[in-house]
Amino acid sequence: MSQPQTLGSKDTVVQLFQHFAEELDDQNDRRERLIKSSRDVTNLSKKVIFLLHRIMTEETDEDDHTLALRAATSGRQKLKDIQKILGSMQVELRGNLFWQNQKNISPGLQEYIEALSFAHYLEHGTLISFQEVQETLSDNGAPFFPLPMSDYLLGLSDLTGELMRYAISAIPRKGGRMKADEVCSFVRRCKADFAGLTPFVKGLAKKQSVTNQSLQKIEDAAYAIAVRTSEFDLPPDILDDIVARCVSG
Amino acid sequence: MSQPQTLGSKDTVVQLFQHFAEELDDQNDRRERLIKSSRDVTNLSKKVIFLLHRIMTEETDEDDHTLALRAATSGRQKLKDIQKILGSMQVELRGNLFWQNQKNISPGLQEYIEALSFAHYLEHGTLISFQEVQETLSDNGAPFFPLPMSDYLLGLSDLTGELMRYAISAIPRKGGRMKADEVCSFVRRCKADFAGLTPFVKGLAKKQSVTNQSLQKIEDAAYAIAVRTSEFDLPPDILDDIVARCVSG
Amino acid sequence: MDQHDLDFINSQLEGDIDLREKIKEQVHEFDKKTRTVVGLLNKVHGTTSDKIPSLLDDVRPLLVDCRTITASLAQLVPQNQFWRWKDMWSNSIRAAVFGAALVEYLGTGTLITVVKVNEILGIHDEWKDRLALPAEDYLHGLITLVNELSRLAVNAVTLGNYEEPIRISIFVKDLFAGFSMLNLKNDTLRRRYDSLKYDLKKIEEVVYDVSLRKLVAPPGQRPQPTP
Amino acid sequence: MDQHDLDFINSQLEGDIDLREKIKEQVHEFDKKTRTVVGLLNKVHGTTSDKIPSLLDDVRPLLVDCRTITASLAQLVPQNQFWRWKDMWSNSIRAAVFGAALVEYLGTGTLITVVKVNEILGIHDEWKDRLALPAEDYLHGLITLVNELSRLAVNAVTLGNYEEPIRISIFVKDLFAGFSMLNLKNDTLRRRYDSLKYDLKKIEEVVYDVSLRKLVAPPGQRPQPTP
Amino acid sequence: MDQHDLDFINSQLEGDIDLREKIKEQVHEFDKKTRTVVGLLNKVHGTTSDKIPSLLDDVRPLLVDCRTITASLAQLVPQNQFWRWKDMWSNSIRAAVFGAALVEYLGTGTLITVVKVNEILGIHDEWKDRLALPAEDYLHGLITLVNELSRLAVNAVTLGNYEEPIRISIFVKDLFAGFSMLNLKNDTLRRRYDSLKYDLKKIEEVVYDVSLRKLVAPPGQRPQPTP
Amino acid sequence: MDQHDLDFINSQLEGDIDLREKIKEQVHEFDKKTRTVVGLLNKVHGTTSDKIPSLLDDVRPLLVDCRTITASLAQLVPQNQFWRWKDMWSNSIRAAVFGAALVEYLGTGTLITVVKVNEILGIHDEWKDRLALPAEDYLHGLITLVNELSRLAVNAVTLGNYEEPIRISIFVKDLFAGFSMLNLKNDTLRRRYDSLKYDLKKIEEVVYDVSLRKLVAPPGQRPQPTP
Amino acid sequence: MDQHDLDFINSQLEGDIDLREKIKEQVHEFDKKTRTVVGLLNKVHGTTSDKIPSLLDDVRPLLVDCRTITASLAQLVPQNQFWRWKDMWSNSIRAAVFGAALVEYLGTGTLITVVKVNEILGIHDEWKDRLALPAEDYLHGLITLVNELSRLAVNAVTLGNYEEPIRISIFVKDLFAGFSMLNLKNDTLRRRYDSLKYDLKKIEEVVYDVSLRKLVAPPGQRPQPTP
Amino acid sequence: MDQHDLDFINSQLEGDIDLREKIKEQVHEFDKKTRTVVGLLNKVHGTTSDKIPSLLDDVRPLLVDCRTITASLAQLVPQNQFWRWKDMWSNSIRAAVFGAALVEYLGTGTLITVVKVNEILGIHDEWKDRLALPAEDYLHGLITLVNELSRLAVNAVTLGNYEEPIRISIFVKDLFAGFSMLNLKNDTLRRRYDSLKYDLKKIEEVVYDVSLRKLVAPPGQRPQPTP
Ligand SMILES: [Mn+2]
Ligand SMILES: [Mn+2]
């Protein structure tokens, strides 16, 4: 009978924990929704990257710059769809919620930045800036959510792998031999720029070593071209023409 | 001019690969949808398991059997929702598609079987049979998809961990001391039954060692009870009564 | 990258590093304070119940002292970045919650509320986008409380206090009922929650021991726990 | 578990083990056959173009011979379980696709179709829930073909055949255009697709070498590739 | 390659593959048998001491049954090649040693000797270049025995048998002393030996529990461990 | 490479390999000696308190015997290279510290000092750039001592000695309070320190068991832990 | 533990440790010798063909010198225990096989036989239960030979020797065809065999380079690979 | 715990933590400097030979700048404790060695000596119990040099410098011969040394490419590698 009612009487405890239970369930459900959206973003971004490669290897009469612009335009179209998904996530990421869930959306965000920066490179030949990325993730100047510097840099770092693929497959194309040299210098600069940032961003050092490998692959390819060309005392574009005439008549 | 048109002329190749491209995209999209549904199944199943534990640790005047039936009934209600999701997946898993995607739905399926078998144990005190599980995954006798024997066994094997938790938290309860002995024998039988099956099912041996640990935890708990009781020359339920009277008056 | 961009990136990253260093310093202080609190409270296992109030009087000001830390942290953390940095001090804050909860239990026999913890540690509601006490950390603190209470049930009996285990048993059972309402992920909290069951079992064994040995008076004749 | 259930489970599991053993035997045979095919085809690197037809005549019956294996597999695999077991023979079937594709290229200069592969290996459409040639395996076979053709481009020149690299170049470029239409996951196929680019580059280098040395006649005067 | 060498190497390689398959089959059978033995012996944890003899009677013929396997293995392994193949069955033989040792302990309370294990499993001394019981495997079996006995000490008490832990404690201490005189390298055996300490501690705690509660005669009136 | 550099580097590398071999030999001896010490001390768990002094008399000379090893090591290690080689013998020296500390506790009931350990093991202060006892190794030895004392508390009760657990409890609580004042990094030492809590809890439970059953005088009439 | 068993086991364990040490010493010597052989042979990459014979004359006695090692090993290894210890020296013996095979190729242009390797290294047939050259190690040595020959093809051209790549190409193709007739399991040997394809490709590219530039006679006028 | 010991230990532990923080700061600075050096030197891959001297002029003062760091470290490290702390900066010092060695090679075509490295980095001989350059770190720096030179051989050719690969080839072969005379243990250094073979092979292939195409004088008319 004289049950010590004063101590945190069970009902009070239940009431208190009822509140926690709801909060934890909410958090988990939100986490699940964000993970799913992030997977969608990853998949669509990968498709954009394939699309860009596909256009850049088309056999066509367009000059290289026109082709690149066409690729960037097509890519931009698809990137809009991804931006829509990222925009729709903003309600789940307001205020404190963003940093609570950042790890769950990181993979998608990085893959998006990789795709976006690839399109940007094709169009402008430069690295997309932090502000430019943040602008694509905004609605009339209001950001969907803060862009973490680490995701920006890690996404960019993946770009060098795609550039390596781009350079290698450009080589057998007319003018591609010059393209390889261009990409080689660009990736060499990326490597240098990122080198100073590795101590600040977790995971960047590992990606930097992939960048290194990619760079060496491009260098080897550029070397192979130089060696072949060296035997003939003619400028590369004349050599290209001779080969083209020989092969396709 | 005299381009060798005969060789797999580029258009034919493009047509052929167009078909592959669609097929691969379809496969990937289906895979993504199934992974998402499987995650939902996993999460809901985990909630059912918590629900069952929650009801079984309620402080109540009901006898243990009534409580177990109430838990099983509540669980079954929630399990229906999961079955609905699994049912909705069947269109993606027709014919050949099931085994193409089995690995993607395995985690969800196993967690569902763990939850279902826990509810079943509470109600009947037995292991749910393969046929009984398959029946819950059927629409008027037509299975949603074939139930892999490996998922059935791996799901059941996880049950022993939950039974350990159940037994440990039953101990401080009235009559729970007997419950622990009961669960101990049951898990010991599970261990023996699964032992012969380990060479056939990948991953079962590892789970068996978790079962082993769970069993030892239950044995240690049963031992602690036996040792305490041994000092007093009265049957355990009388001892229980004395303690109860002493504590709560 | 053009130089302007590179400078921008560098300044951002260095700002973060700076901030991390500053938070680390505060956490270092926080740790020191909670270590002292925990050290003092460790004495309850050898202290008879009449000397407990004076022990609590020693601890309370140390807990209140943590307010300078929480204030500094709240000032350091940029708006909305609470979750970005919180892992740095979650061990300290959990220890503080434990300390406050044990003081409350020993003083009043009741479970400390989140509101009361926030008040003691001086965590203001309007800081919530920079510093707050998340459910997770509060719950971790409570689990540590139960771990310690199961030890206390044992040691109280050693010191001849046969009532304490009963009080602890009732308190912990209620708390456990609360915990079992939660759906947890497979994380540390889940694992620690599982371990609660063992504490509960241990406490029950002590209750069993003292009950069967009739070391406690029949309930009607027992003194009421202090409110 | 009751004995009846246990017996049921055991009989099911043993049935699977049995089936695995039987499939393994067939795969062993399949491997032997494709190893012989690949071994014979390896001779193309040292064979002048006039002797190629007779080499292909040796290989073709060996490929057709694989039909007994595919028939056995189709009979063994239970309905709808194609994807459950296919990993066991995918290496063999990829080697067979490669063999058939190289024979087709050398014989006709064209890309072998899926339909033709199925016909050669005797894979019937109505088996598709038990045995089929999935896109993935066909594509793997084609990548192996390109790997081998880049080697052939080099060796053909050594043997004095300066036309072959040109033919190979045109063929492989077309094939590459097909591959680049695919959206691949990060799996083996993706990695091997990336390696295609190096083969393409190698072939281009050979073409470059022979073109600039004017070792091939100007296109108008060149003999047409055999259809 | 020299044709004679080629033939010789190939026949060697294929002979090895064949032999491996044949040994694998025997090991599979061996595993089945030891799994049954271990499964049956697992029942001791729920069996009261009066029913143990009948349980042992069930197990003994199964152990003896392993002789057909050891004989087959001895026949399969080529002269001098014991050390080449032994890893394939060491898990099975360790399980068999464990089974024989547990039967011996439960039947006679003594430690099984190497000679007796060899006799039970039908391992003949004259096979030693093809099949033998190496010290290492014997020791592994004994460590498994101790693991199991620490569990048995616990479960015996649950079944009301308070003498068993005392017997186990004496037996294990003796065995442990033996082990500590061996010069073990830093390998698996060493690591498993180190883990014995936990088993020993657990057994000591059980003995403590029953002694404290005077459920057994006080130590002075109990048989002493051999010094 | 510059010949002078080459010779220098090679002589360095070979010197190191040589030295490592020589140190290894000494460590091997050291290990043997500490293994014997630990083996002998293991007997305390079965020894009644009246026979402890004679056991300690057996152990003490063995500890002193380690001086030949420490002297050899101090002679082998080149000037200033203590920190380069010390990991090779840290396990042995920790075992020796443990041995000395247990002898001291059993003999005098007090905690051994660093000075005393150095004296017993014959470690001279002037060797400090070649051989010394770092704080870390001393602390590791003490933690092992506590691990063993928790086992001893249990076994003493089994042997009917109900006072020992009380003594151990007071000693360990004191030691634990000392440890909790140290600023330990997150390393092995920290992890082992955390595990001390379990030993402490176990000892408290033993004290509880004997108190509850009134096998010892009630706390008021017992010697108090030093404040 | 049974004293007889204990003694037996301990003498076994200590005997093994001893033996391991002794074998290690011999292997150390073996390594030194093969390192010198490999070091000397490394000079072929910078040696013009006229100076090769004198280089081989330097190497041959060093190879023969290995006989003292093989004899010591054969004496150390107990009867029937070849397979127990062989892993300790397999790296050394593979290096020796490589050395002998490269000397044979450079001297006679032919592949060394197993019999000849055994003769050079002084491995007697009657030792086969203690020391032998298993097929596996012979094959590993040959794969290393191919790795080195692909490097030699490159360096020979640098030195202006355009015929050597052709000879190497014929030799390696032949060897490769031999390998592809062997039934290799999925082990290191298999993986290294797969890597041979890259060496072969590299050699073919060198032959291509010299053929394209007409630095050698056209294939029709060159010696043909043996059929 | 003895108060004196406690104070002593705590002051030791806290001193170490402090010192570690201070060293970390210096290492952080060291890293920054070497990263800049390596970053600048990375430009050699895109720099034509006429601009190399001016690049080296930029790098040299940065290397000399490291002297402030080495001096600070030498002051921080307590006497005799070089080996305790050296792992903290070994990566930085290896990078510095690499930088100095590459500058030396590019400037003079010779291998930098240990003495010269010590001079550039300002490491004084009398600091040797606090800061020195161990052989191991010097060697690691040289291996990194070779890794970079193999890349440089490739890129030099791309920039039209066909002589550089020849120079690199001679330099690396010489260095490699030096390495192969060292007695390396099975550690990281050994593994990195093994990888040098790949660099050597790559360089040889570059030399092959330029020789084959007669882009450089034939070997007879080139400076020969020292025998
Ligand atoms: Mn990518
Ligand atoms: Mn579970």
- DSSP letter at H148? H
* pLDDT on residue H222: 62
β-partners of residue A142 are A139
Same domain, C28 and C102: yes
Selecting from H45, H157, H209 the residue whose C-beta is nearest the C-beta of A188 gives H45
E205 at interface of F, judged by CB pairs closer than 8 A: yes
| pLDDT tens-digit map of E93-118 | 999 999 999 999 999 999 999 999 99
| pLDDT tens-digit map of D65-85 | 999 999 999 999 999 999 999
Closest CA to F100 of F133, F67, F64, F68: F64
Mean pLDDT within C5-16:
95
Residue D191 burial (10 A CB sphere; 0-12, 13-18, 19+): exposed
Q: Residue type for H81, please?
A: Q
CATH for A30-147 is 1.20.58.190
Higher pLDDT: E151 or F183? It is: E151
Band of the pLDDT at F35, cuts 50, 70, 90? very high
Subunit contact B2:A249, Cβ cutoff 8 A: yes
How high is the mean pLDDT of chain D? Answer: 93
* pLDDT on residue A234: 79
Position G226 in a domain: no
Subunit contact F155:E219, Cβ cutoff 8 A: no
- DSSP codes joined into one string, F132-189: ---HHHHHHHHHHHHHHHHHHHHHHHHTT--HHHHHHHHHHHHHHHHHTTS---SSHH
Examine chains D and A and say if they touch (3+ CB pairs below 8 A).
Answer: yes
* pLDDT on residue H68: 97
Q: Residue type for B9, please?
A: S
**Residue G201 C-alpha, separation from nearest chain D C-alpha, in angstroms:** 7
Size of interface D-G (CB pairs under 8 A): 34
Same domain, H17 and H34: yes
How high is the mean pLDDT of chain B? Answer: 91
CA distance A90 to A98: 9
Q: Which fold has domain A148-249?
A: Methane Monooxygenase Hydroxylase; Chain G, domain 1 (1.20.58)
Contact residues of B toward D, CB < 8 A? 1-4, 6-10, 12-14, 16-18, 20-21, 23-25, 28, 95-96, 98-100, 102, 126-127, 129-130, 146, 149, 153, 189-190, 193, 196-197, 200-201
Selecting from E9, E82, E179 the residue whose C-beta is nearest the C-beta of G182 gives E9
Selecting from H173, H201, H219 the residue whose C-beta is nearest the C-beta of G158 gives H219
Task: Show residues of chain B in contact with C194, CB under 8 Å.
Answer: 165
* pLDDT on residue H220: 66
Mean pLDDT within C199-203:
95
Contact C66, C124 (CB under 8 A): no
Residues of chain A with CATH 1.20.58.200: 148-249
A36 at interface of B, judged by CB pairs closer than 8 A: yes
* Residue ending a domain, choose from E101, E117, E132: E132
pLDDT at F190 over 60: yes
* pLDDT on residue A249: 47
Position G201 in a domain: yes
Mean pLDDT within E214-225:
71
pLDDT at B4 over 50: no
Subunit contact C178:A16, Cβ cutoff 8 A: yes
CATH code at position D64:
1.20.58.190
**Residue F194 C-alpha, separation from nearest chain C C-alpha, in angstroms:** 14
* Residue ending a domain, choose from E86, E103, E132: E132
For the ranges A26-35, E98-107, F178-187, the lowest mean pLDDT is seen at F178-187
| pLDDT tens-digit map of B95-129 | 999 999 999 999 999 999 999 999 999 999 999 99
| pLDDT tens-digit map of G150-201 | 999 999 999 999 999 999 999 999 999 999 888 888 789 999 999 999 999 9
Examine chains F and D and say if they touch (3+ CB pairs below 8 A).
Answer: no
Rounded to 10 deg, the angle between the G188-212 and D188-212 helix axes is: 20
pLDDT at E127 over 60: yes
H201 at interface of F, judged by CB pairs closer than 8 A: no
Record the tokens describing residue C144, joined without a space. 């540590």
Task: Show residues of chain F in contact with C35, CB under 8 Å.
Answer: 180
| pLDDT tens-digit map of C156-187 | 999 999 999 999 999 999 999 999 999 999 89
Selecting from C12, C167, C177 the residue whose C-beta is nearest the C-beta of A10 gives C177
CA distance B68 to B52: 9
Closest CA to D171 of D106, D97, D95: D106
Helices (H), G159-187: 163-179
Same domain, D102 and D31: yes
Same domain, D166 and D227: yes
CATH for B160-249 is 1.20.58
Task: Show residues of chain D in contact with G225, CB under 8 Å.
Answer: 46
Selecting from E46, E160, E213 the residue whose C-beta is nearest the C-beta of B185 gives E46
Subunit contact A43:B32, Cβ cutoff 8 A: yes
| pLDDT tens-digit map of D157-187 | 999 999 999 999 999 999 999 999 999 998 9
Same domain, H82 and H121: yes
Record the tokens describing residue H110, joined without a space. 């010779």
* Residue ending a domain, choose from C132, C149, C168: C132
Window 151-180 of F: residues touching C by CB (8 A cutoff) are 173, 177, 180
**Residue F90 C-alpha, separation from nearest chain H C-alpha, in angstroms:** 14
Ligand with the closest atom to the CA of A45:
1
Task: Show residues of chain G in contact with E114, CB under 8 Å.
Answer: 2, 5, 8-9
Subunit contact D158:G201, Cβ cutoff 8 A: no
**Residue H177 C-alpha, separation from nearest chain F C-alpha, in angstroms:** 8
| pLDDT tens-digit map of C44-97 | 999 999 999 999 999 999 999 999 999 999 999 999 999 999 999 999 999 999
CATH code at position E215:
1.20.58.200
C194 at interface of A, judged by CB pairs closer than 8 A: no
| pLDDT tens-digit map of H164-184 | 999 999 999 999 999 988 888
Same domain, C81 and C1: yes
Ligand with the closest atom to the CA of B154:
2
| pLDDT tens-digit map of G136-158 | 999 999 999 999 999 999 999 99
D81 at interface of B, judged by CB pairs closer than 8 A: yes
Subunit contact A168:D197, Cβ cutoff 8 A: yes
* pLDDT on residue A229: 86
* pLDDT on residue G166: 97
Mean pLDDT within B36-44:
98
**Residue C137 C-alpha, separation from nearest chain F C-alpha, in angstroms:** 20
pLDDT at E3 over 90: no
| pLDDT tens-digit map of F82-116 | 999 999 999 999 999 999 999 999 999 999 999 99
| pLDDT tens-digit map of H98-126 | 999 999 999 999 999 999 999 999 999 99
Same domain, D20 and D72: yes
State which residues form the domain around E172. 134-227
Selecting from B3, B10, B35 the residue whose C-beta is nearest the C-beta of A248 gives B3
* pLDDT on residue F32: 92
* pLDDT on residue H223: 55
Selecting from A192, A199, A216 the residue whose C-beta is nearest the C-beta of H151 gives A216
- DSSP letter at D132? -
Mean pLDDT within A99-127:
97
Band of the pLDDT at B11, cuts 50, 70, 90? confident
Position D180 in a domain: yes
pLDDT at B205 over 60: yes
Which residues 6+ apart lie within 8 Å of H172 measured at CB? H146, H149, H150, H199, H200, H203
- Name all contacts of C46-51 with Cβ < 8 Å and 24+ positions apart: C46/C155, C46/C159, C46/F173, C46/F225, C47/C159, C48/C159, C48/C160, C48/C161, C49/C156, C49/C161, C49/C164
Burial string for F166-198 (b: 16+ CB within 10 Å, else e) reads: bbbbbbbbebbbbbeebebeeeebeebbeebee
pLDDT at F186 over 80: no
CA distance B127 to B163: 12
Is B32-147 a domain of CATH 1.20.58.190?
A: yes
Same domain, C141 and C97: no
Record the tokens describing residue H27, joined without a space. 């290492």
Same domain, C96 and C144: no
| pLDDT tens-digit map of H121-152 | 999 999 999 999 999 999 999 999 999 999 99
Query: What percent of chain G is modeled with pLDDT above 70?
Result: 96
C59 at interface of A, judged by CB pairs closer than 8 A: no
Task: Show residues of chain H in contact with G209, CB under 8 Å.
Answer: 212
Window 86-105 of F: residues touching H by CB (8 A cutoff) are none
Same domain, F7 and F19: yes
* pLDDT on residue D5: 93
The three-state secondary structure class of H77 is: coil
* pLDDT on residue G219: 67
Window 22-51 of E: residues touching G by CB (8 A cutoff) are none
CA distance A49 to C27: 44
Ion ligand 2 residue ranges (Cβ < 5 Å): B 158, 161
pLDDT at E34 over 90: yes
pLDDT at H224 over 70: no
Mutate to test the interface with D, among G166, G185, G205, G224 (most CBs of D within 10 A): G205
D135 at interface of B, judged by CB pairs closer than 8 A: yes
pLDDT at G226 over 60: no
Assembly ipTM: 0.93
Closest CA to F204 of F159, F160, F169, F154: F169
* pLDDT on residue A4: 38
D181 at interface of B, judged by CB pairs closer than 8 A: yes
Mean pLDDT within C202-209:
93
Mean pLDDT within B211-226:
94
Band of the pLDDT at D223, cuts 50, 70, 90? low
Residue B111 burial (10 A CB sphere; 0-12, 13-18, 19+): buried
Subunit contact E1:G83, Cβ cutoff 8 A: no
| pLDDT tens-digit map of G33-65 | 999 999 999 999 999 999 999 999 999 999 999
Mean pLDDT within A27-49:
97
Subunit contact B249:A39, Cβ cutoff 8 A: no
* pLDDT on residue F183: 83
* pLDDT on residue C169: 94
| CA-based radius of gyration for chain C | 21
| Contacting partners of chain A (3+ CB pairs under 8 A) | B, C, D, H
CA distance B92 to B96: 10
Mean pLDDT within F39-46:
95
Same domain, H119 and H87: yes
Band of the pLDDT at F185, cuts 50, 70, 90? confident
How many folded domains does chain F comprise?
A: 2
Record the tokens describing residue H71, joined without a space. 């001096």
* pLDDT on residue A237: 78
Same domain, C218 and C123: no
